Structure 1
Amino acid sequence: MFREQCLRRWLSRWRVKPSAAVAAGSAESDDAVERVRRQYLESEQRFRALLESLPKVAVQGYDRDRRVIYWNAASTRLYGYTAEEALGGLLEDLIIPDFMREGVVQAHRAWIRQGIEIPAEELELKHKSGELVPVFSHHVMLKEHTDDPLMFCVDVDLSDQKQAHRELEFATRFDRLTKLPNRQTFETDLDHVLEGVRRRGIGLALIYLDIDRFVEINDALGYEQGDQLLVELTRRLRDVLRSTDLLSRLSSDEFVLAFPGLRREEDVLQVVNKIQGLFKLPFGLEGHERRISASIGVCLFPDNGSGARELIRNADVAKNRAKLEGRGSVRFFYQHLHDELVREHRMAENLERALDGHELTLHYQPQVSAISGRIENLEALLRWEPREGPTVSPHEFIRVAERSGLIHRLGDWVMEEACRQRAQWRDAGVLLERIDINISGRQLSRPDVFERLHQCLARHGLGPREIGIELTENVLIEADGRILEGLWELYHCGFRIAIDDFGTGYSSLSYLKRFPVTALKIDRTFVRDAPGEPKDRAIMEAAVFIGHRLGLEVVAEGVEDQRQLELIREMKFDLVQGYYFYRPMPAAMTERVLLGLVVSSPGDLQG
């Protein structure tokens, strides 16, 4: 009853006064009065229904003593009190936190006595359970300057918005999967730690960790298993941290850790060994135990950088060098690593310009019969002769091309140029069996490499016996099923496939049976040392024996003098390649040699 009376008094502010209606129609019948009364009642019902229907707009009414006179259903949902529990209760006892209590009482009194309105604002009010509830609160005072003022509070629930804001803030600062700080947060935290480290005069070690071949785990087992591995690794890494240490996931498979107080390499190595020990235990994935490894880069403060970003970059440089050395490697950052990285970056830029600026050429080195000295084949060798500056060694720029990804453009260029030159010599009547081109492991990673080779031959009207390929044995050992299938297809088409630098790779001969090889090229280091080194000579003899028993052509590389040639002939090598006969030559000089226009004795042609 009390609630209904208070609500009626509040709603009277919006009433159409019956007295005014009656005065306007004093000559009207009582029907007009009844019509106005019904309109008022309908308006009151609609307004009350509106207040009760707002799901997240809590409306409460309070008298001059701040006792509840109105409490809608949304207020119950927001604050936990039913209308029966709330009616007659004090505002400050129900929903005002203790630290706000006195301020709210004083603000209410100031509005009643002095007309100072309470501003609308975001607040955290108290739920029945004691928890704080975020709301936007707006206040309305009715019947001001009377003995019976009424204050109504309209509170909008901000819980969803606040939760969304917290989730957004978390997403911008932390990794969703591992809940670790992301790069931006880590950099901020690390700079803060460095301030303290700098004041105290102590060091800090930063360790950059990259899971080896993580993409293969995702491809083979699926992303769910990859995520499971990352979560488990995060748990293990947390176990080796002190309270002052930092840990972050920077990208898909990269983590970085900071250890204040470490400066000496021997102390850092102890921590590195502890981290490496985490990988000795297998990870349970898809019901099976799988072992993984990680490449690690380390840099030290203040020796290798003064700020977070610089330290992370340098540790990344060291990590990348560790990856080049093989799985599970560790490298400390030294300035020459960064200088080398800068130099390689500039070389990659220059190499890309060289591809566009026609600074690359192919030189050709003949392979001759070990018995007759007659030229049988040519090996195409890439040369870079910048318009400005000295010639760049293939050993340097091929490595840069592989690391930068330019090797695919280089490979396409070599393939195209060798085929063009072979077709030109064919059309000119130059007698030659084939030109061999080198294909790197990075080139073979390209899914369409064999298709591109077929297309290139077709463009120039060449057959499979006019262009051969050379691969290092390490490339073959690491080749997957796709590469194996592609090589067998080439073999059945009639391509010649040689293993270059034979004997310098892993000690495995199984690939001679598994792969479609047609020739072995014995590395020059064995040829060079064989005349005075019995072990090298024994290895060469064994290679020739195995090669011939398997029906393979055997080529000696790097033959430079008569004594080496005599030994090669004695061992019954098939072909010889080296400075004793010919150095690599430009196409024009090679053509003159092939046409017999240059008469020379062995070793005279120096290119």
Structure 2
Amino acid sequence: MKNNHLRYRFIAVLILLFLFYVIANFASHLVTPTRYTIDKTTPIYLSQSYLIDDTKNLHTQQILDNLNSFTAKPFEHIDWNFTPRNYWLLVDLDNRSQQNEKIVAHFDNPMVDHLTVYHLDSHNNIITTTRLGDLESELSLFQYSVPHIRLTITAQSKQKLLLKVDTTGISKTPVNLYGEAEFQDLTRSQTAIWGIFVGVLIMAALYNLVLFFGIKDRVYLIYIGYIISAIILMGGVLGFGFYLWPLSWQLFFQKYIVVSNYAIALFTLAFCTMFLRYHKEQCWRYKLSIYLMLLMFCLGISCFFIAENIAAPIFFAVLVLLYIVCIIMIYRKLRSGFRWAKFYVVSWIPLIIGAAIQPLELTGVLPYSFAIRHAFLVAILCEVVLMAMALADRVRYQREKALYHATHTEQTKLLNSAMLKQAYMSLQLKQRRASLCLIRITDFHSLSHILNQTQSSQLVVAIAKSLELQLSKEREFINLESNLDTCPRIADLSNGVLAFISIKTQSAQSLHDKLTKIRKSLPKHHPVQGFDLQLSYAMGYCILDGESGFDTWLQNGYFSLTEAPQTSYPNNQSKLIPVTMNISLAAAFQNALKTNQLTIYHQPQIDLRTGQTIGSEALLRWPNAPYEQINIEALILLAERTGLINKLTLWVLEQACQDIAKFNHAGFFKHKVSVNLSAKNLMIHNLIEKIENTLLKHNVPAKQLKFELTESALIANQQQMIHLVEQLTRLGIEVILDDFGTGYSSLNCFVSYNFSTLKIDKSFIIGLPTHSANRVIVKAAIEMAHSLGLKVTAEGVEDVTTQQLLKAMEADYGQGYYYSKAIAVDDYLLWLAENKQAN
């Protein structure tokens, strides 16, 4: 397979060399036109001189009367720049042949505004006057795109061409005189390059548009934007845009050509940012690119209101910043090993060279020639092709990466359940008998909390290698992937479970004995940094019955592991996992939090005076079997001890705000929800900001959210807790003192903290009718709270007598099973609707 791969690469290199030869040979025929002007092909002698009118006030007759004052130097010596002024160019023509010569004068600047050409005789009299330029009307598209005039120089005569260049922006106007045949070669070469450029770019744009619809990646739209900007820019600079757009469009593009420059620069930076995936990192380089894009966008818009001679120098300065930022981003990615970005890096070479040649030629630093004139166009063409190759390489890499991640586990790099499922589907299609075999590392959850992630993965890989070695001795265990040299038979199902498939027709006892033998051969110890882990394994299997699906097959295999080692369960027989408060439960609880297996239930809080529901308390629940019977207080304690409490609190806050939004949508706009806070939550970074963002995210008013703090939470970090309560109060959120009477805080807490409500613990409320001491304590607490301006909520109301007693004691709110147990949000909404009708 490797030899075939090398052979195909060699063929691809040969094809590439052949294409380069064709391109080079074709280009050699295109770069020659400017070598064959009339002074090189006919006995016509030329001399050049010029005059620069900085005032722009000299008239034609004044110029004609002072032709001797012109500077007798070739036009290459002219100081072409963006300063507003007129250029007068004089070409003396001396035809020393014995016959008339037909020539074509080509003025290679299709962006010139006004170009007036005077054909003079030997006495400086005007023979003809021709007006060209993109601001002149009634010209043909050919005259717009290729400014030129045709004239005849009689035999043995001297004539002159006087040119007036009056333009804003790019003023350099190369003047070349050709014979008819040579001018046709020039136009042929130009048309060929223009056609190739436009054709390749349009095909690239269409192809990437198809890719966008298929892949939905924004980078393809940015790439298309770059292509369109390049076509507009080069169509204006070189003139072929007159054949692409309506005349009014092209004149608009040429008038604001600097805007096109900013557009191509902006798309270049946006493509660099998106292609290299900086938008995924949100680092300072990404922010720098965003700021530069905003700057270029603003400067581009300003070009509609300022003159081109002012806007162009600003753009060239910004271009330097663009190169610096892009080089910084590319360099960082190259150092991090972005091997698929090689084509993109190479694509910058022609762009940098071409972008440097264009302004150098326009300002006269580089001599004019056909090749130099079209260098930037060829550079963009090469860049677009290389960028297309870079995008293709990126797609290939992402596809390979996605396929690898879809079929391998991220940590151990072993095959995952996807390959196991593929093997199952193949066996089912062939109607072959097969057995799913599982090996599990006993107490892997506990071990994974002893080991770090890397060590846990190394443990699984070591056992998988040993298991693979054992399976390779038996032909009955099939390969799950056959296109690799290793031909692996094992799939990693995570959590220390390895799976493989036997296709041998055998009895359950025979398979059991074989798996027992394999299990006994697996490592009993695993060294980790000087420690010798003691390992044991559970095994199980499930026979494919041809009717159940893959998920059922796999589930039954797990059931065989759950009951006990070395035992297989028949299909469709479930077993409950024993639940104890250990580290495995903490891991399961953490996973439930990450995968949204938890939920919150609502228990209503009732206004004892009106009977109306004023709100509810959000209570955590874990409804998945076998965890639904676990004591929630114990889970909260477990979360605090394992560091999960902060994530849990933020998750409950998110769910509570979602539910408040549901209540508002149902018309319960005054309904409030209470959420419990722990002292551990003080460690949440920017807690107040997170609370504000969550409220804004769900469009929930702060007054509909309440927080409950237990007395024990007030003892630790008292100053921080006081500050937190003050911040919540300023935000408009009520803070409630929860479980009053069970803690050890003094009455000073009522002075230090800005509570709105005192919540009496249910231990004082349950049995209130029969315990006189409790009645005294509750009544005293209510009177004290009211004297301090606090509301009182009694928790644990379970009968009408208790409700009447609390109402007589003037408690404000009640909560308990007498009204409703805690129920899911959808059921609670129904309860609210019914309770509203009842009231």
TM-score, with structure 2 as normaliser: 0.30
Structure showing the higher helix proportion among its residues: 2
